[in-house]
Structure 1
Amino acid sequence: MTKLADHLSIGQVSERSGVPHTALRFYEERGLIHSERSAGNQRRYPRSVLRQIAFIRAAQRVGLSLEDINAALASLPHDHPPTKADWARLSKGWQDELDARIDALQRLRDRLTGCVGCGCLSLRSCGLYNSDDQMSRFGPGAPKLKAATEGGI
């Protein structure tokens, strides 16, 4: 066990990172960050957790799931926090996925603008309308809206 006096409490980590303590506990439950326990059973985090949290938050901002983030963190050495080089290498692997998301969002934006922008408000000409529930064969929800963001249907 490492010397816990050099570690931060959950309150200190929350204050320094700007992440609520509830989110820190959630990250820990998901295996994204780790703490040790003091003699009084209080969480104590190494200072390097601040960089891990910054990595997690940045990855979330670009739209990665916690599962993707966890996989990325698992691919890194456990003896040091993520570095700029680690981020560059991992983010390069996410480029294609992010480009596909951007393209899908642009298609969705263009369809929505066209539908609302035509002025007629006619469901007969709307590219997203699902007349007679024809789209039910594609599952629950709004499959045309989902397809517009994922490049399908």
Structure 2
Amino acid sequence: MPTRLKPSDLLSIGEIARRTGLSVSAIRFYEDKRLIEPVRSGGNQRRFLRSDIRRLSFILIAQRLGLSLTEIEAELAKLPQGRTPTTRDWEAISAAIRARLDERIAELTRTRDRLDGCIGCGCLSLTHCAIWNPEDQLAEQGPGPRKLLG
């Protein structure tokens, strides 16, 4: 954390909630998970850096993209603490999650393309099961929708 913070550098939890659209309890949850780290005022009140707005926004976006909190934590750990992340910082995170997003897009595309006739094993249609999965051969490959899981 920077040692010379001005009062204008810090925001209350209510202000962070207003700026991000998150509830105070959600912000506390992310604090408990150590995804953000407030500083404490002389009166022991939480104060957040303005850069925490970007961190919280990233958390919201990453969750919508399907990243787990563990994955989000790993990515946020790469960002500098105590200063606003730069374009270069965000580009590094973007590159790191791009492959995961591409995998998810491919999985969703396979699911969409096969949804009408099959959910991976053909069990939605007994008529097609005999063609796509005769004698339940896919069961030997493991549980779940084998055709979709690859």
1:1-150 alignment, distance < 5 Å: 3=5, 5-6=7-8, 7-115=10-118, 122-126=125-129, 135=139, 138=142, 143-144=144-145, 148=148
How many percent identity over aligned positions? 44
**Per-residue deviation, 1:56:** 1.9
Q: Does the 8 Å CA contact 2:117/2:125 hold for their aligned counterparts?
A: no
**Uncovered stretches (5+) of structure 1, i.e. residues with no partner:** none
**Uncovered stretches (5+) of structure 2, i.e. residues with no partner:** none
Q: Does the 8 Å CA contact 1:17/1:54 hold for their aligned counterparts?
A: yes
Runs of 4+ in 1 over 6 A off after TM superposition: none
**Per-residue deviation, 1:137:** 8.9
CA 1:20–1:128: 2 relative to 1, 3 Å: farther
Moved more, 101-110 or 89-98: 89-98
In 1, Cα distance between the equivalents of 2:73 and 2:49?
18
TM-score for the superposition, normalised by structure 2: 0.74
In 1, Cα distance between the equivalents of 2:141 and 2:57?
42
TM-score for the superposition, normalised by structure 1: 0.73
In 2, Cα distance between the equivalents of 1:128 and 1:21?
51
Moved more, 89-98 or 1-10: 1-10
